[in-house]
Amino acid sequence: MIHARAYSLRTAVLGFVLAPLLVVILAAGWSGLRTLEAGMEARMEQDIELVARSIHLPLREAMAQGQRGDIQQALDSAFRIDQVYGAYVYDENGELVAASGPRSPSMDRRREAREATVTGTHGAYDDRDGEELYSFFMPLIDVGGRIRGLLQVTRQGSDFHADLARVRFRALVALGTVTLLLVAVVVVGHHRAVGRHVDRLAAAMVRVGRGERDLRVSGRGPRELQELARALNRMLEDMQRSATELEARRAEQVALRERLRQSEKLAAIGRLAAGVAHELGTPLGVVDGQAQRALRHVEPQSPPQRALVKIRREVARMDGIVRQLMDFGRHNPLRKRPEALGRLIQAAVAQVRADLEQSGTRLEGEDAPPGPVIPMDRARLEQALVNLLRNAVQATPGGRVRLSWREREDRVLELRVEDDGPGIDPDHRNRLFEPFFTTKSVGQGTGLGLSVAHGAVTEHGGEISVEDSPLGGACFVLEIPMDPA
Ligand code: ADP
């Protein structure tokens, strides 16, 4: 689940890398600007001080000799310099002696001038009518070391400030440009180096989450992300493999459960059938015995005689069904002995010989060589084979039935009984081996033949299945392990 306060990778890079970087740049810029400003201010102050010093000697002379004209001239020469706003000379009492430029803004009062005289050479900022002025004061000292007066040279603060504002503006523009450039570089760089690859991985994860389990991500980009993509692919493969395994296991379980259910059903039906057959055997024997005895006492070719013969024929048929039921329900342990396959085939064919001859059906493959010797309960397998052969003959009266076998490499004996009859209706395929499933009319089939065959083969550890025969009809395949456990 994505946390509500989650932020993007780009935001993280901007926040954790670029923001501190910008703070550092800002701090460095600000400190540089301060130094620059301080330097500029100092240089401007020095300029004024230089002007003051250059006129201070002639002024001192003129003051000593009391030549006001010279004083004014010296001041005027200073005033002509661009940076100078005004130049003023005061006597030792603080009285203004001469001035060049606008009236002295600060030294109107004598006391202030005197104080300035005593403090010696110094600079001072002064606010007059909302305008800042910088003044440089320099005492005018005569040869004897006595202070004769004071020189004041001023400069307009706006001069500095305009310059400083210009510098600040340029610095800010430079800083803004650098910031924008850095943001652009980081955003584009992040996208090209990491972002697009991470986006691709994230998009792939979203699609996988939606169920596209076959999806694989391509491993492009930096090594770490390539490794991540590879790990992701491995994980997806593992997930897919385990999902497939799980699915297969589930299907196997379902099939197993179905087989179990089927065999339990068969066992129950088998017990019931065997019980019923057992109970019917004795009365049928009695009916047949009585009919046989009664026959001796009736006229040949008389109606009672014909009725008794009919009774005996029907009893024989019922006896056959009872025997089949007993076969089906019999779950005696297998009595296995090594037997040659050839003998099994011969015995089974012998049992259907009459059916073959009666229907005129041709059997191919009965004269096969003796074949391998395998452990088997011959009676059970013989019954299975007889049932299959009989079904085949019934499916194609007058047609072809083929019996064949081969030893497979996996040590399984494969026996095939096929015919050129109509084949198996696809709708019936699943139910073919169910007991009592028959498509034959009453009296023709009991639906037990294939169940009996199925039981015999599976008890031998083998399998029975049906497929289409190249002859055109059905092909029943028995697979019997040659080395049973
Ligand atoms: P029954 O033969 O008594 O009907 P089976 O269990 O032997 O019982 O056979 C079940 C059904 O399988 C038959 O009714 C028939 O529809 C079908 N069947 C069996 N063998 C063949 C075959 N060789 N060709 C076509 N259908 C067959």
Q: What's the full length of the chain, in residues?
A: 485
Give which of 464, 451, 470, 365 is closest to 413, Cα–Cα. Answer: 464
Same fold, 9-175 and 335-481: no
In DSSP terms, 417 is beta-bridged to: 403, 476
pLDDT, position 120: 66
The list of the chain residues with pLDDT below 50 reads 1-2, 110
Whether the CB of 391 sits within 6 Å of ligand 1: yes
Cα(255) to ligand 1 centroid in Å equals 24
CATH no. of 9-175: 3.30.450.20
| Spatial distance between the Cα atoms of 222 and 196, rounded to a whole number of angstroms | 11
How does pLDDT run across 137-177, given as a tens digit for each residue?
888 888 888 888 888 888 887 777 787 788 889 888 998 89
Q: Which residue, judged by its Cα, is nearest atom 21 of ligand 1?
A: 391
Secondary-structure breakdown of the chain: helix, strand, coil percentages, each rounded to the nearest 5: 60, 15, 25
Cα(147) to ligand 1 centroid in Å equals 145
Q: Answer whether 97's CB lies under 8 Å from 90's CB.
A: yes
Whether the CB of 473 sits within 6 Å of ligand 1: yes
Give which of 437, 435, 466, 462 is closest to 451, Cα–Cα. Answer: 435
Q: Which residue, judged by its Cα, is nearest atom 11 of ligand 1?
A: 438
Q: In whole angstroms, how far apart are CA 361 and each of 136, 365, 383?
A: 141, 13, 20
Best residue for ligand 1 mutational test, from 434, 438, 466 (most atoms within 8 Å of Cβ): 438
* Domain definitions of the chain by residue range: 9-175, 335-481
DSSP code string of 271-324: HHHHHHHHHHHHHHHHHHHHHHHHHTTS-TTSHHHHHHHHHHHHHHHHHHHHHH
Whether the CB of 429 sits within 6 Å of ligand 1: no
| Spatial distance between the Cα atoms of 485 and 101, rounded to a whole number of angstroms | 128
Q: In whole angstroms, how far apart are CA 232 and each of 3, 193, 304?
A: 22, 20, 90
pLDDT, position 436: 84
Cα(261) to ligand 1 centroid in Å equals 23
Whether the CB of 421 sits within 6 Å of ligand 1: yes
Cα(404) to ligand 1 centroid in Å equals 19
Quote the Cα angle for 461-465-469, to 5°.
140
Backbone torsions φ then ψ of 104, nearest 5 degrees:
-55, 125
Q: Which residue, judged by its Cα, is nearest atom 20 of ligand 1?
A: 391
| Spatial distance between the Cα atoms of 331 and 349, rounded to a whole number of angstroms | 24
| Spatial distance between the Cα atoms of 455 and 47, rounded to a whole number of angstroms | 122
CATH architecture of 335-481: 2-Layer Sandwich (3.30)
| Spatial distance between the Cα atoms of 134 and 160, rounded to a whole number of angstroms | 10
Q: Answer whether 351's CB lies under 8 Å from 380's CB.
A: no
pLDDT, position 247: 95
pLDDT, position 114: 61
Q: How many helices (H) and strands (E) does the chain have?
A: 11, 12
Q: Which residue has 């009453």 as its token pair?
A: 442
Q: Answer whether 37's CB lies under 8 Å from 164's CB.
A: yes
Best residue for ligand 1 mutational test, from 383, 450, 452, 457 (most atoms within 8 Å of Cβ): 450
Quote the Cα angle for 458-464-468, to 5°.
175
- How many Å from the N-terminal Cα to the C-terminal Cα in the chain? 54
pLDDT, position 57: 86
pLDDT, position 331: 62
Q: Which residue, judged by its Cα, is nearest atom 18 of ligand 1?
A: 391
This prediction has a pTM of 0.51
Q: Answer whether 342's CB lies under 8 Å from 370's CB.
A: yes
Q: In whole angstroms, how far apart are CA 367 and each of 153, 295, 345, 476?
A: 142, 43, 9, 19
Q: Answer whether 468's CB lies under 8 Å from 456's CB.
A: no
Q: Which residue has 């696809």 as its token pair?
A: 426
| Spatial distance between the Cα atoms of 348 and 363, rounded to a whole number of angstroms | 12
pLDDT, position 162: 80
| Spatial distance between the Cα atoms of 88 and 106, rounded to a whole number of angstroms | 10
| Spatial distance between the Cα atoms of 405 and 385, rounded to a whole number of angstroms | 12
pLDDT, position 330: 66
- For 130-140, letters b (16+ CB in 10 Å) and e give eeebbbbbbbb
pLDDT, position 465: 93
**Packed helices 223-295 and 196-209: angle between N→C axes, nearest 10 degrees:** 20
Rg (CA), the chain: 61
Give which of 431, 355, 360, 412 is closest to 387, Cα–Cα. Answer: 355
Q: Which atom of ligand 1 is nearest to the CA of 421?
A: 24
Q: In whole angstroms, how far apart are CA 273 and each of 73, 258, 286, 329, 380?
A: 149, 22, 20, 6, 18
